[in-house]
Each structure stands twice: as structure tokens, then as C-alpha cells.
Structure 1
Amino acid sequence: MVYQTTLNSEVSYTGVGLHSGVDVHMTLQPAPANTGIVFVRSDLPGMPRIEAKAANVTSTVRATTIEANGIKLFTIEHLMSAFYAMGIDNCLVLIDAEEPPVADGSSKVFAELMAKAGIKVLDALRREIVIDRLYRVDDGDKFILAVPYDGFRVSFTSINPHPLIGIQYGNYEITPESYLSEVAPARTIAYEAEIDALREMGLGLGGTLENVIVYNDDGWMNELRYPDELVRHKILDIVGDLRLTGFIRGHIIAVKSGHALNTTMAKLLAEEFKG
């Protein structure tokens, strides 16, 4: 049996949103059992709330967006990934903008904040999603599947036509220890030639070489933390997107998957294991 958890104390972080470029203050607060992860817009009248769950996903363009009660939050995947890996069931996320801070482009800061706050075990059982057969979502040459496994493991194959990146493969058992050392520090990545187009779309306005690793046809524009940092960040994203459906006991295997496929799998599992 596994019991639900929350944070032991309140922690805060201030930064800038990756896509919005807006300054944002975020506070993570302990919450009672069966609350889940709930975002609270502290800057709006009535402080409206939105649950971080798969059914509330409305967009996956360059980030995962949830929307309900007349509000939306986007680029939540890095924070949600840390919630998963650190085993946090319940938390109120007070935030005064539509996007969490990007920090350094990874989830390392968030995971460390949660570790600093400490974890409190609650007197309520966690309901795990135990994968009992193969579940699969395809989109052309991309796919994500879940198969039975006693634990939580993520395997990802990234296939990028750029010769600098090529094929990368990552395979990690997700525990707090392995996540903090092998996955959490992996940062989001951009191709320099795409940046102007993204900014014309209103995306990446808060991106800098301090929070995004950028490559061009000559090489990397900043120093990598790992030679395969791209695939590690892809795994970070999968963990965050699947946290929208809860905690999973199974092995997730993906090829070229992105937020769209990840959240489709989250919705599929949420529907299959509801009740």
C-alpha cells in the first residue's frame, strides 16, 4: 500500500515564463488528501482554480496547456514532472500569471524546491494506475505505449534529422534519486532557425541561452549538461504529461512522441481507469 503525500511546508519561486516572457511568482502550498495538483490564479478576482488533470488539456502546441473555469495555464509539464518524480499527490500552486516560471529550462529547480519543503505522508491511500495490458497511441511514425511493469520506467527514442542530434535513446527507472541526477537537469531545446518564427507566434518570448539550449548548423550555442540532453528532456516531458492522469505502475515506451501523443495517452489511461 502507498499513502498519499503533500508538501511539509510552503515554498515559493519567482521567475519568467518561457513562452509569455512575463514575470511570475509561484508558491507551492501543502494540501489535504484527495486534492490533487490544483493551480490557483492568485492574481484574479475570486482566485479561480483549475485541476491539473488530463481532461483539462486543451492545447499541446510547444507546451501542455490546461483550461477550465475561464482560465488557462500553459507550459505546466516541467513542474508536473517534478511533482511526479518527487511523489507529490496533493498541492496548491498559487500563481499570478498564465505560465509557471521557466527557471533554467529544466525541472531541477522545482524538484529541489519540493525536496527543500519536505514531504508529508497523509492518512489516505494513493490510487495507482496499474497497467494490466498494452495501451498504445500512434500518429504516423510516432507512438507511445504503456505495458505492465512493476515500477515506473520510461524509454524514449528520439529521431532528429539534424546531423548534430540524430538518434538518441534514453531508458530510466523513475525514482526521486535517478530523476534528480539523470533527468531533472535536462533543459528544453530549440533550433536557432525556428526561433524568429516561434516569437512571431507569441512563443518563446522568455527564452534565453540561460534557460534554453540552442543548436544551429554549426553546433551547440551553449554547453550541454549531457551528450543526450535532448532525449532526457523528452523523458522529463513524458513524466510531466502523464502526471495529469496520476501515478502509473508500468513501462512507458515512446518513439518521437511529443505533448500531443503524451497527453492523448494520459487521457486514454484516465478514461480506462476512472472510478
Structure 2
Amino acid sequence: MQQTTLAAEAVYKGIGLHSGREVQMVMKPAPANTGLVFVRMDLDGNPKIHATAANVTSTMRATTVEENGCKVFTIEHLMSAFHALNIDNCYIELDAEEPPVADGSSLAFFHTIRSAGVKELAAERREIVVDKVYRIDDDEHNRFVMVLPYDGFRVSFTSVNPHKLIGIQYENFEISPELYEQEIASARTIAYEKEIEALRSMGLGLGGTLESVIVYNDEGWLNPLHFEDELVRHKILDVIGDLRLAGPIRGHVVAVASGHALNTRLAKKLLENLG
């Protein structure tokens, strides 16, 4: 397979989920072997931050990458759309430190990227071809994420939530652009109402609204769901985005209650061993 980039520029504007700041994102075609590179247009010199596992510096409620003291955060939904659409190279220009949240899913990014078109490049695509089991555990909280050899890209995820409204959810998907658009891309970020005030006191979730976050409390959901098991589908969306920080994956991802911390640790492990 050949490497790809966008066929044309694509623009998306909105509010950052955690920063609450307005941001314009311009995605531009990039040459072969560039990778996915964020460009901070609001900073002197327009510094670049490569979206790679080696640059992950924080995973608190979102995934952050940082290079030479400059960072971007909450990149996982955009990265997930790039992964699903097999985009290898792109410059992502931002005039703030966080991409837009859109509706809390990756659907708007998926459609924006696809509408720009995909262009094949002369260079050969380099996949992360999983050759054995790679696993990251959090024994204290009974969580893990692993990836096994598999001829394709599959994700099996079990979400475990103690709240009676959610409980245990499981989904298993063979990832393709068509499947991703239908079953995963519109799954949104979820928050427990009682956590929101604490998050905002930490400077997080400042851009979140019922238009961009599914909120639940002890009585039920505050907004309608896109899927009965939307939580686990969003977890799958996240792990697809986080693992793209290693590169395009050929393997079967199996996870139980994993989040950004475990996902990005696995991405680092894959990059170190197979990148």
C-alpha cells in the first residue's frame, strides 16, 4: 500500500473541550514520511509537534503531545479519524492549544477529512505489524490493553462502569472506514454530572456542553444517546486514536476498562519495538 495525504485543504472551527477557547483548525496536505504534525499558528515561529507516542506528556482526561516546550491536547478524536481513514501525512494548523471538540465525537472530523479527499503518494506505507502479544496492565484497577497478531485491524473492548445505568458494555469491531463511520465515529464523550464541577475547578471541561458531552446522573441521561452502548463505542474511538500515535496498526486490540494512560503506554511500546 502507498502512503496517503489529503487531496486538498480542510478547515474546521469550534471550541476546545477543556480550554473553552475558540479555535480554527486547517488540515493541509503533507509530503511522504511527514507523519501527522500539529502546527501552532498562534505561537512565534509556528512550532511543530509531531503526533507520535514518544511525545505524549499527559493523559489526564485527554491525550497531550508536546515537543520543544509546545503542546497540543485532546487530540485523540482527530487522531482516531485519521487512523480510520488511513491518512499517513498531514499538517494540522491550530491557532490555539486544543482542536475543536465538535459534538464530542469524531464524526465531524471524519467527514471533513473525507470531503477533502485522499491522495496517494509515491512512498510505501509503513504499518505497525504486530508480531506477538504486547500488553499493558494496571493491576490495581483491574485494567489492561493488549494487541495480538492479526491480519487486519480489529478492536474488542469491555467497558466497566460501577454506575447501575451503564454497567458492563462490550463491543467488537473489524475496523474499516465504512464500519467506523456507521458504528463508532458518532459516539461521544461521556461525563458524570457530579464530576463536572470538580473538573472545571481543575481547568478542565470548560468548553463542554450538552451539545458536546453526554451527561448522566443518578436518575438517568440528560441528553439522548446515539447508541445504547455509546460509552464503550467512544472508548473504542479513543483507543483507535491513541494507538495511531504508534502508527497505522495491523493487529487485534483487546482492552478491558482501558483509558488514555494505558493506551498511550501501549503505543509507546509498539513504537519502541516495531516502529
Q: Distance in 2 between matches of 1:165 and 1:124?
A: 45
Q: Which residue of 1 is the match for residue 195 of structure 2?
A: 194
Q: Which residue of 1 is the match for residue 87 of structure 2?
A: 88
Q: Which residue of 2 is the match for residue 222 of structure 1?
A: 223
After TM superposition, the structure 1 = structure 2 runs for residues 128-147 of structure 1, keeping only pairs within 5 Å, are: 128-140=127-139, 141-147=142-148
The letter for the 1-side match of 2:101 is V
Q: Distance in 2 between matches of 1:43 and 1:130?
A: 37
Deviation at 1:44, TM superposition (A): 1.2
Q: Which residue of 2 is the match for residue 207 of structure 1?
A: 208
The letter for the 1-side match of 2:131 is D
Gaps of 5+ in 2: none
TM norm structure 1: 0.99
Q: Which residue of 2 is the match for residue 17 of structure 1?
A: 16
Q: Which residue of 1 is the match for residue 7 of structure 2?
A: 8
Q: Once the two structures are superposed, what CA deviation does each residue of 1:113-142 show, in whole Å capped at 9, x if it has no partner?
A: 011000000000011111111111100110
Q: Once the two structures are superposed, what CA deviation does each residue of 1:181-208 show, in whole Å capped at 9, x if it has no partner?
A: 1000000000000000000000000000
TM norm structure 2: 0.99
Q: Distance in 2 between matches of 1:121 and 1:37?
A: 15
The letter for the 2-side match of 1:120 is K
Q: Which residue of 1 is the match for residue 51 of structure 2?
A: 52
Secondary structure class of the residue paired with 1:245 = coil
Q: Which residue of 1 is the match for residue 108 of structure 2?
A: 109
Secondary structure class of the residue paired with 1:250 = strand
Percent of aligned pairs with the same residue? 67
Deviation at 1:5, TM superposition (A): 0.1
Q: Once the two structures are superposed, what CA deviation does each residue of 1:75-129 show, in whole Å capped at 9, x if it has no partner?
A: 0000000000011000000000000000000000000001100000000001111
- Equivalent residue pairs, number: 273
Deviation at 1:53, TM superposition (A): 0.1
Q: Distance in 2 between matches of 1:172 and 1:208?
A: 29
- Range that drifts further, 66-75 or 56-65: 66-75
Q: Distance in 1 between matches of 2:134 and 2:40?
A: 35
The letter for the 2-side match of 1:84 is H
Gaps of 5+ in 1: none
The letter for the 2-side match of 1:229 is E
Q: Which residue of 2 is the match for residue 234 of structure 1?
A: 235
